[in-house]
Amino acid sequence: MSGAVAGAKPSHPRGLTSSPYFTSLVTVMLLAVLLVAGGAAYPGFLSLQVMFNLLIDNAFLLVIAIGMSFVILSGGIDLSVGSVLALTTMVSAWLLQTWHVPPLLVIAISLVMGAGFGAAMGAIIHYFKLQPFIVTLAGMFLARGLCYLISINSITIEDPFFVAMSQTQVPVLGGFLSPGALIALAMLAVAIYVAHCTPFGRAIYAVGGNEQSALMMGLRVARTKVLIYAFSGFCAALAGVLFSFYMLSGYGLHAQGTELDAIAAVVIGGTLLTGGYGYVAGALSGVLVLGTIQTLIAFDGTLSSWWTKIVIGGLLFVFCVVQRLMAIGATAKK
């Protein structure tokens, strides 16, 4: 299916390197290599709980990356997700601690707020024909600024429901997962279904492949684009809720730079930044690769944490170049 809608992008699978699975496959192989190398170097690295912790620690990043996949598949980009996450933790903490709003209502308010924020940006992008980059950049400033308007200090969350969610350990296959990780996995399942089995999903791929032809085919481009950014905002808000389960505090500096991690995860997961090509499931492998690198560096103990950034940058470079060379190869073959 993706070959058909990818249009001018590398399509017509000929051999392994030009098959649509190729970059996704490379990522999965890379993940396996990283895990095996880790297992060989450090005893206990491959234990089930270390793997589960990988998921628990990166649940919020996974949720954000899912939303980002949708945006990138449609040919856009959303730089505001990290700030929306921070804003959600801030608003949740503030509503809980100052106004004593019931926790479930707080979560609902946060999610609606995130989706609304995204929808507003999507509408501005579509109706004023502005670049997603600059609009979501302004959204990023706005959300961070709003955080500081609520408070410049961090607010601790003491609500029993949030505390319970942060401490619950759900037994799975002899190990345990946090409720946050389970929510993230459920979100991934829903996103995969939406992207590959619904008309909305096909519209996303079509808009990303070529917006003009999508419009001529009679697809509702406006509705699709606004919904995509609304979905990304929703994911960012959900990630914010998971993050506040994890950190039990709201703070304007939470998750700085997460938007870049999410973009990196999506690209490493095999989605083309030009849009229209890739898999939502790639977000999981991308996030796991980033998480494994971090865990490897933590296990090593002698490497400093800034190596993470350098390695992520290097990986991003390799994947971008591979994507580019594949695109050049595909055009040359035609």
Partner 1 sequence: MSIVRHPLFRPLAALAILLLIDLLLIPGFFHIEIKDGHLYGSLIDIANRAAPLALAAIGMTLVIATRGIDISVGAVVAISGTVASMLIGGTMVMNNGVPEYVANTPMVWALCAAMGAALLCGAWNGVLVAGLGLQPIVATLILMVAGRGLAQLLTDGQIVTVYYEPFFFLGSGYLFGLPFSLYIVAAVFVVTFLLMRKTALGLFIQSVGINPVAARLAGLKTATLIFFVYLFCSACAGLSGLMISANIKSADANNAGLLLELDAILAVTLGGTSLAGGKFSLAGSVIGALIIQTLTYTIYSLGLPPEVNMVVKSVVVFLVCISQSAEFKNMWRRVFPARSKGIAA
* Interacting residues with partner 1 (CB under 8 A): 77, 124, 127-131, 133-135, 137-142, 144-146, 148-149, 152, 260, 263-264, 267, 273-274, 304, 306-310, 312-314, 316-317, 320-321, 324, 328
Give the shortest CB-143-to-partner 1 separation in angstroms.
8
Give the shortest CB-47-to-partner 1 separation in angstroms.
29
Q: Which residues pair with residue 171 across a beta bridge?
A: 176
Nearer to partner 1, 131 or 167 (CB): 131
Nearer to partner 1, 21 or 148 (CB): 148
CA distances to 106, 154, 234 from 101, in Å: 6, 19, 20
Give the shortest CB-252-to-partner 1 separation in angstroms.
8
Region label for 257, one of left (φ > 0), alpha (ψ between -120 and 50) or beta (otherwise):
left
Nearer to partner 1, 127 or 193 (CB): 127
Give the shortest CB-56-to-partner 1 separation in angstroms.
24
Give the shortest CB-312-to-partner 1 separation in angstroms.
6
* Rg of the Cα atoms in the chain: 20
Residue-level length of the chain? 334
Give the shortest CB-305-to-partner 1 separation in angstroms.
8
Nearer to partner 1, 53 or 74 (CB): 74
Tokens linked to 250: 């709201």
19 φ/ψ angles, rounded to the nearest 5 degrees? -75, 150
Tokens linked to 333: 């073959």
Quick check: 61 and 242 in contact, CB under 8 A? Answer: no
Give the shortest CB-309-to-partner 1 separation in angstroms.
3
Nearer to partner 1, 49 or 331 (CB): 331
Euclidean distance between CA atoms 108 and 104, whole angstroms: 6
For residue 18, which amino acid is it? S
Nearer to partner 1, 129 or 334 (CB): 129
Nearer to partner 1, 2 or 274 (CB): 274
Sequence-ordered list of residues with C-beta below 8 angstroms from that of 123, at least 6 positions apart, any chain: 226
DSSP H/E element including 147:
helix 132-150
Quick check: 312 and 264 in contact, CB under 8 A? Answer: yes
